[in-house]
Amino acid sequence: MTSVFLIDSAAPLTADAVVVATVCTDDGVALADGAAGVDAALGGVLLEALRAVEATGKADEAIKIPTLGKSATPLVVAAGLGVAAPDTLEPEAVRRAVGTALRGLQSAKRVAVAIGSGTDPQLVQAIADGALLGGYRFTRYKPSAEPNALRRVDIAVTKPADAGAKAAIRRSRIIIEAVNNTRDLVNTPANHLNPVTFAAYARERGEAAGLRVEVLDERALKRGRFGAILAVGGGSRTPPRLVRLSHTPAGARASVALVGKGITFDSGGLDLKQSGMGDMKSDMAGAAAVIESIIAAARLKLPIAITATVPMAENAVSGSSYRPSDILVMRDGRTVEIDNTDAEGRLILADAILRACEDSPDYLIETATLTGGQVVALGNGTSGVMGTDALRDRVVALGTAAGESLWPMPMPPRLRSVLDSPVADVVNLPKDRSASMLVGATFLKDFVPEGLEWVHVDIAGPAFLHSASGYNGQGGTGVIVRTILASLIDLAAG
């Protein structure tokens, strides 16, 4: 684990590498605020050196300049913020730049960041976030790979004792640990992470964080009439689970239900996937995000009651798989016709939402790698957000401010009719595949009590990347943890 410290920006630096920021101007690359001390230690040649190696200051650029014995720090990494004035630092640009710089370092143990945050808590948090996100590596199954060398990050600020800056570091440490744990879970393949081992992980981590933990096994699921979780998980050698984690502080201001899709592998079931199956170890990214978020919320001691209800199943192929044309009986007795066994997420989510809402929460926040339609509409950078208007817009605004990209999506009421079934209350997938992200949300809406403020975040694209960018490497991104925590922090504030 990497530690983060605040150091005095006026004092000399000792580190294996120091990160400064650059901007892209009409006259070419320029140094951003905070780099002056580093430049002075090199005799004022830093900008000249950057020009010589054709630096531009564009976003996602991280240029390494060796200091050749001229300074106590052997390496300067100049990370681009993109087009901006040198003294107007935008938090997400800083987070990305620092993340890109740290992702490019392999053996540095101690890294200093000299970006002029003053003591602005938002910027200090963005620097810490970027460093901890960019320093992440997934090497659990590759012991031959370079282990993560990064031990310590020093953030240069004008007043290291500043209470706001210190609080920002503490928040960042807890939140980014949750993001990185989510990345680990998403990156862990399905032969190591199945519903049983995933539930055991949630129990162990939840109990260690002081949460109340309940794990429903297949017998408890049968007693509880969780027809969809049992059907979707029925084809796997590893039976399904429903995990419930609760944070119940005294004097809680409000109560929030979290629900996340936990398909540990999505083969499609009998409607076997024709492409993209290899990515489907990531189909539990929503589950991982809500589990890690509630643990972080407990560590942050948020004064709201939170319960995470997390269905876990493997959508597998066998003689006990559920079939197209099956009619499932849900937790509340409602029936669902199966048109396609690959639309499995909404089924387990419906059972979980029904259970979560039996506790009468004030808010429901649910997230899932639900539809290919999300990827088509918004790509792998932006999550789609649906639900009741006020909570949807609030979550979009809070998540955006936390540095995640989200966009509100509609749920036109007339879409409900495409889910009408001749033989059941609802069908899991219409014949017409248009607007599939919105149809997925519309299916879920049927299971949310009238009048409850709720939000559904489709993270199918952003949860898992094929190529690195900014503070994200290839693989699991840990997306939506920062949005969920920003939302919980805001709801806790009243």
Site for Mn ion, rule CB under 5 A: 266, 342
Helix H, strand E, coil C: the string for 14-72 is CCCEEEEEEEEECCEEEECCCCHHHHHHCCCCHHHHHHHCCCCCCCCCEEEEECCCCCC
**Which of 104-112, 145-153, 234-242, 366-374 is the region at the interface with ligand BES (rule: CB under 6 A)?**
366-374
- Please report whether residue 373 would count as binding ligand BES according to CB under 6 A: yes
Please identify which of the residues 331, 346, 394, 482 carries the catalytic annotation: 346
First CA to last CA distance, the chain: 33
Binds Zn ion by CB under 5 A, chosen from 283, 351, 366, 404: 283
- Please report whether residue 344 would count as binding ligand BES according to CB under 6 A: yes
Task: Tell me how far apart the alpha carbons of residues 32 and 402 are, in angstroms, rounded to a whole number.
Answer: 22
DSSP string for 208-265: HTT-EEEEE-HHHHHHTT-HHHHHHHTTSSS--EEEEEEE--TT-S-EEEEEE-EEEE
Q: Minimum CB separation from Mn ion for residue 372, in Å? A: 9
Binds ligand BES by CB under 6 A, chosen from 154, 184, 266, 314: 266
- Contacts with ligand BES by CB under 6 A: the residue count is 18
Q: Which amino acid is at 88?
A: T
Subset of residues 394 to 423 that bind ligand BES, contact rule: CB under 6 A: none
Task: Tell me how far apart the alpha carbons of residues 414 and 439 are, in angstroms, rounded to a whole number.
Answer: 10
Helix H or strand E encompassing 292:
helix 285-299
Please identify which of the residues 152, 166, 273, 416 carries the catalytic annotation: 273
- Please report whether residue 39 would count as binding Zn ion according to CB under 5 A: no
Helix H or strand E encompassing 165:
helix 163-187
- Please report whether residue 340 would count as binding ligand BES according to CB under 6 A: yes
DSSP string for 295-350: HHHHHTT-SSEEEEEEEEEEE--STT---TT-EEE-TTS-EEE-S-TT--HHHHHH
Q: Minimum CB separation from Mn ion for residue 139, in Å? A: 29
Task: Tell me how far apart the alpha carbons of residues 191 and 316 are, in angstroms, rounded to a whole number.
Answer: 12
Subset of residues 81 to 110 that bind ligand BES, contact rule: CB under 6 A: none
Q: Which CB sits closer to ligand BES, 206 or 440?
A: 440
**Residue found by looking up tokens 């017409």 in the block:** 432
- Please report whether residue 61 would count as binding Zn ion according to CB under 5 A: no
Q: Minimum CB separation from ligand BES for residue 441, in Å? A: 12
109 is catalytic: no
DSSP string for 383-426: EEEEESHHHHHHHHHHHHHTT--EEE----GGGGGGG--SSSSE
Task: Tell me how far apart the alpha carbons of residues 239 and 195 are, in angstroms, rounded to a whole number.
Answer: 7
- Please report whether residue 372 would count as binding ligand BES according to CB under 6 A: yes
- Please report whether residue 382 would count as binding ligand BES according to CB under 6 A: no
273 is catalytic: yes
**Which of 7-15, 135-143, 156-164, 263-271 is the region at the interface with Zn ion (rule: CB under 5 A)?**
263-271
Q: Which CB sits closer to ligand BES, 34 or 373?
A: 373
Residue 213 interface partner, choices Zn ion, Mn ion, ligand BES, none, CB cut-off 5-8 Å depending on type: none
Q: Which CB sits closer to Zn ion, 396 or 444?
A: 444
- Please report whether residue 218 would count as binding Zn ion according to CB under 5 A: no
State the angle between helix axes of 163-187 and 481-492 in degrees (0 to 180), rounded to the nearest 10: 140
**Residue found by looking up tokens 């948020």 in the block:** 302
- Please report whether residue 345 would count as binding Zn ion according to CB under 5 A: yes
Helix H or strand E encompassing 133:
helix 121-134
Subset of residues 431 to 460 that bind ligand BES, contact rule: CB under 6 A: 436, 460
**Which of 155-163, 230-238, 266-274, 328-336 is the region at the interface with Zn ion (rule: CB under 5 A)?**
266-274
- Please report whether residue 197 would count as binding ligand BES according to CB under 6 A: no
Residue closest to ligand BES when measured from CB atoms: 372
Task: For 397, list phi and psi in degrees, rounded to 5.
Answer: -65, -45
Cβ-contact 478, 190 below 8 angstroms: no
Residues that bind ligand BES (CB under 6 A): 266, 276, 279, 283, 340, 342-345, 369-373, 375, 429, 436, 460
Residues that bind Zn ion (CB under 5 A): 263, 266, 283, 345
Q: Which residues are catalytic?
A: 273, 346
